[in-house]
Amino acid sequence: MLIHHTCPNCGADMNFNSETGMLSCDSCGHNHSVEQLEDIKLTQTFEQDDAREYHCENCGAVVVTDKDTTATSCSFCGGAVILVDRLSGELAPVQVIPFTISKEEAMQAFKKWCRNGRLTPKGFMTANRVKNITGMYVPFWMYDLNNDVEVHAKATKVRTYTSGEYQVTETSHYDVYRKLDIDYAKVPVDASEKLDDQIMDKLEPYNYNDLKPFKTAYLAGYLAEKYNYNDEQLYPRVKNKVKSYIDNYITSTINGYTSVQYHQKNINTKQKHSYYVLLPIWMIYYDLEKQEHNFLMNAQTGKIVGKPPVSMQKVSLWFLGLFSSSFIVLKIIALLLGGALW
C-alpha cells in the first residue's frame, strides 16, 4: 500500500525539508510540522504484499521498487511515496534521526572532498562523473546492554635503583581483581544486507539525542529500506562491538603497573532493550577509470567515508620529482592515499 503526504492547500506532494525540519510543499510553499502530523497507525499490520510495482496516485505511472524499499519517489512525476505495509507491525521503526544536511550541501561537501585529494585526476570535477546522489535511511537496531565483568590479572611493578656499587632491580607482584557493572545505551548495529558493515561503523557516531518518534513524513522525498536482519540475528555483532569498549574500559581501570597479564576475564552481556531505528546517509556514486566508486556521508553530522579519487599518473610524477627524499615521499603518498583522510 502506498501513501503520499499531500499538501492541504494545493494537493501537490510534500517533501521533508532538512533545513526547517518540516514537511514542505514545493508548489505553494506551505509548511507543516512533522511532530504534529496525524500519521497512519503503524501498530496495525497491513497486508504485506511482495509486489514490486505500484501505481503512483499522482500520475498513474508505475513505481518499481526493490523488495526492501520502504520509501522512494515516482520516477515519472517525482512524487514521494511511502510503502506503508513495509513500515508497520513488526517492521515499524520506533525512532528516526531526520536529515539535517540537504542534497546541495552534500554535493558541495563532495566537491570540496575531491579538491582536498591533491592527487585527484585532472578534469575529474569538470567531467560529469557523478552518476547518482541519493539520500537514504538505513535500518539499524539499537541495543541497551548491561555487562557483568570479572577480571583476574597478575601485575608487576619494576623499580631500578643504585645502591653503592650495585644496580638493584626490584620487582613487586600484584594480584589484580576487578568486578565491574557496565551499562551501554544506544549501541547501533546496521541491519541492512546491502551496505558494508565496516563502512556503516565508520559513519558513526550519530547524535542519538536527536532521535525522534518515527513518523512516515520524515521519509518523504528520500529512499528508505526495511531491515534484513532482526535484533536477535544481530545480537552477536553488538556483543562483539561492546567487547572492545569493555576491554578498553578494563585497561583504563588498571594502571601504574609495568606489566599486566590477564588470566581470567569473564564478560556476561545481557540485553536490556532493543529497538528499530532509521539513520540518514547521503550516497554519491561516481565513476573513475570505468569503475564505480562511492562516497558516503553521515547526513546528520556531515562525517565522510570514502577515499578521494587518485590519479596514478600524478602519483608517479610525485615520485620522480621528490626522488631524493624518498622516505618522506612514501610517507606523504601514504597519507594522501588514505589513512589520514578518514
For Zn ion, the closer of residues 12 and 254 by Cβ is 12
DSSP string, 199-235: HHHHHPPP-GGG-EE--GGGGTTSEEE--SS-TTTTH
Long-range contacts of 101-109 (CB under 8 A, 24+ apart): 101/18, 101/282, 101/297, 101/299, 101/300, 101/302, 102/18, 102/19, 103/133, 103/135, 103/282, 105/302, 106/133, 106/135, 106/282, 106/284, 106/297, 106/299, 107/133, 107/284, 109/297, 109/302, 109/304
Smallest separation, CB 57 to Zn ion (Å): 8
Q: Which residues bind Zn ion (CB under 5 A)?
A: 7, 9-10, 12, 25, 27-28, 30, 56, 58-59, 61, 74, 76-77, 79
CB of 37 to Zn ion, least distance (A): 15
Q: Which of 279, 314, 317, 294 is nearest to 113 (CA)?
A: 294
**Are the C-beta atoms of residues 159 and 170 closer than 8 Å to each other?**
yes
Cell numbers standing for residue 266: 569473564
Nearer to Zn ion, 54 or 113 (CB): 54
> Minimal distance in Å, beta carbon 62 to Zn ion?
9
> In this structure, what DSSP letter does residue 248 have?
H
Where are the alpha helices (H) located in the chain, listed in sequence order? 103-116, 197-203, 235-253, 312-321, 326-337
Least separation, in Å, of the C-beta of 66 and Zn ion? 18
Q: Least distance in Å: CB of 52 to Zn ion?
A: 16
Measured from the CB atom, the residue of 12 and 107 that comes closer to Zn ion is: 12
Pick 77 or 114: Cβ nearer Zn ion = 77
Q: How far is the CB of 225 from Zn ion (least distance, A)?
A: 21
Q: Among 55, 137, 46, 43, which Cα is nearest to 85's?
A: 46
Single-letter residue type at 326: S
How far from the centroid of its chain's Cα atoms is residue 211's Cα? 14
Within 10 angstroms of residue 239's Cβ, the number of other Cβ atoms is: 18
For residue 97, give the nearest of 213, 231, 15, 230 by alpha carbon.
Answer: 213
> Least distance in Å: CB of 80 to Zn ion?
10
- Rounded CA-CA distance 140/96 in Å is 10
Residue closer to Zn ion by CB (options 10, 335) is: 10
Residue with Cβ nearer Zn ion (13 or 231): 13
Between residues 8 and 205, which has the closer beta carbon with respect to Zn ion? Answer: 8
Check residue 101 and give left, alpha or beta (phi > 0: left; psi -120 to 50: alpha).
beta
Distances (CA, A) of 323 to 88, 329, 331: 62, 8, 13
Nearer to Zn ion by Cβ, of 10 and 64: the residue is 10
- Considering the complex, what minimum distance in angstroms separates the CB of residue 72 from Zn ion? 11
User: Measured from the CB of residue 13, what is the shortest distance to Zn ion in angstroms?
Assistant: 8
Residue with Cβ nearer Zn ion (27 or 326)? 27
